[in-house]
Amino acid sequence: MNPSSLAGHTVELLDSVVKSTLPSDRVIQDFFRGRRYLGSHDRRWISDKIYDIIRNFILLRDLSEKCAASIGPLRVFLTHEIIMDGMNAAQLESAYPSLIESYRLSGERLDLAAWETCIRGGYDAVAETRREDPLFYSFPDFFPALLPESLVGEGVPMMRALNHEAGLCIRVDTNKMPREEAALKFLAGGNPAEETEYSPMGLILSKRLNLNNDDLYRAGVIEVQEEASQLVGLLVDPRKDETIVDACAGAGGKSLEIAALAGGDCRIFALDVDDTRLRNLVARASRNGYTNISPIRVKEGDLGEAGKLIGTADKVIVDAPCSGSGTIRRNPDKKFRLTKELVAGYARHQKEILEQYAKLVRVGGILVYSTCSVFSEENIGVVESFLESRGDFSRENAADYLPGEEFSRLVENGLFATYPHRHNMDGFFAAVMKRVS
């Protein structure tokens, strides 16, 4: 397919991504699924281009809005080509002639030379005087202010790190195969893997992986799971015969990890509000060979069948729905969807969820609260609010629940926290609390 056609598809896809409330990867998958005629090279061209536009969307939109009374996806695309790919007006005309002509024929006033001049002037002004501003890194202006006090002065390194695409991280079920052996198998298949620095189960692959065609995945030896998420699973520290509840289980990534860590010898109840996710968990558990995971459908504010677990669980992990600000490397569209109101809404909901599932913990049992957010309001703010309202839980030192001294770098004031610019993994937070009465 010629560049004009590829660019046209990219502009169409960008319009869908911006207008949709679904995650960008879902929109992109649906887009390709409806256009089977696109070859692998075409999909890669469009995918690489659209993700780079999304990653820089706030800046591209801002520059475009300063140069036109109204903008659409074509203007944003052209701004990307000028700023990120260094193209000039003549190169744009040469590379995408039919796309540009079709817009002109539709009545779009498009003077590329004037557009290039305006966009470059706007970008130069930002680059010269505002390199410390979130706009330069295409983040919402409030982003640094929501970070914890321990990251004062690290907003720019954090934003830079979040702008770098993350590698594909997998978790190896070491009950079935040593991590080193799995790495050798990937190497033999032309996909070299690097061991994760902290997780004893993780590998970072150098290439993308088609899971459905991978023998290790089909055999239940590997699962896609980011290193920081694996470490949160380690905090649960499952033991033989324990009753463990994975609240907000989703499709069950942590349930599967906990099952593997305990060698299948604990009882796991996976709770979620979404039937589809729980069905996916059942399929994944079957493929992994674990029969000790029981899915239970719950409703918002209603434990339903899970009410039978009140006061009985040895461990409860609440991996709460959140802004996902720590996963922007993988989900760059979260940047332009973030608002202060959205974050505040998540924090309120997280407090409600934590209160609901704390009921399941037995006296002497452990409650782990975690998010994939880097914002204080969703993390320590929720934990402190919960503990202030309860006299039956106390905060534990997360370092006591991790298996080695090397993890001390990931614990601040007893709280587990990872940051992409410090640890080269997603931003995650976890607090460990014990029910004392």
User: pLDDT tens, 164-194?
Assistant: 999 999 999 999 999 999 999 999 999 999 9
What distance in Å separates the CA atoms of residue 360 and residue 60, rounded to the nearest whole number? 48
Residues 253 and 389 in one domain: yes
**Count of residues for the chain?**
437
Tell me which residue range forms the domain holding 52: 3-129
Residues 217 and 275 in one domain: no
pLDDT of 120-154, one tens digit each? 999 999 998 888 899 999 999 999 999 999 999 99
Read off the pLDDT band of 335 (50, 70, 90): very high
Domain ends where: 224, 251, 269? 224
Question: Is residue 36 domain-resident?
Answer: yes
Q: pTM of the full predicted structure? A: 0.93
Residues 176 and 264 in one domain: no
Question: Is residue 138 domain-resident?
Answer: no
Q: How many domains does the chain have?
A: 3
Q: What average pLDDT does range 87-99 have in this prediction? A: 93
Domain ends where: 129, 159, 193? 129
Residues 37 and 100 in one domain: yes
What distance in Å separates the CA atoms of residue 108 and residue 100, rounded to the nearest whole number? 9
pLDDT at 116: 95
Sign of CA dihedral 273, 279, 280, 284: positive
Residues 250 and 212 in one domain: no
Q: Determine contact, residues 179/201, Cβ cutoff 8 Å.
A: yes
What distance in Å separates the CA atoms of residue 435 and residue 432, rounded to the nearest whole number? 10
SS3 label, residue 437: coil
Strands 361-371 and 168-172: unpaired
Residues 261 and 387 in one domain: yes
Q: Which residue among the candidates 118, 169, 266, 372 is catalytic per the annotation? A: 372
pLDDT of 311-329, one tens digit each? 999 999 999 999 999 999 9
Question: Is residue 283 domain-resident?
Answer: yes
Residues 377 and 304 in one domain: yes
Residues 173 and 237 in one domain: no
Question: Is residue 299 domain-resident?
Answer: yes
Q: Determine contact, residues 327/427, Cβ cutoff 8 Å.
A: yes
Domain ends where: 129, 144, 178? 129
Question: Is residue 300 domain-resident?
Answer: yes
Q: What average pLDDT does range 194-199 have in this prediction? A: 96
SS3 label, residue 235: helix
pLDDT of 252-290, one tens digit each? 999 999 999 999 899 999 999 999 999 999 999 999 999
Percentages (nearest 5) of helix, strand, coil residues in the chain: 50, 15, 35
Residues 122 and 207 in one domain: no
Q: What is the CATH number of the domain that holds 296?
A: 3.40.50.150
Residues 231 and 220 in one domain: no
Residue identified by tokens 């309120």 is 348
Count of Cβ atoms closer than 10 Å to residue 5 Cβ: 14
Strands 313-319 and 361-371: parallel
Question: Is residue 114 domain-resident?
Answer: yes
Strands 243-247 and 267-272: parallel
Residues 198 and 320 in one domain: no
Residues 298 and 335 in one domain: yes
What distance in Å separates the CA atoms of residue 386 and residue 59, rounded to the nearest whole number? 38
Question: Is residue 145 domain-resident?
Answer: no
What distance in Å separates the CA atoms of residue 138 and residue 136, rounded to the nearest whole number? 5
Question: Is residue 137 domain-resident?
Answer: no
Per-residue pLDDT at 104 exceeds 90:
no
User: DSSP class of residue 375?
Assistant: -
Indicate if 248 belongs to the active site.
no
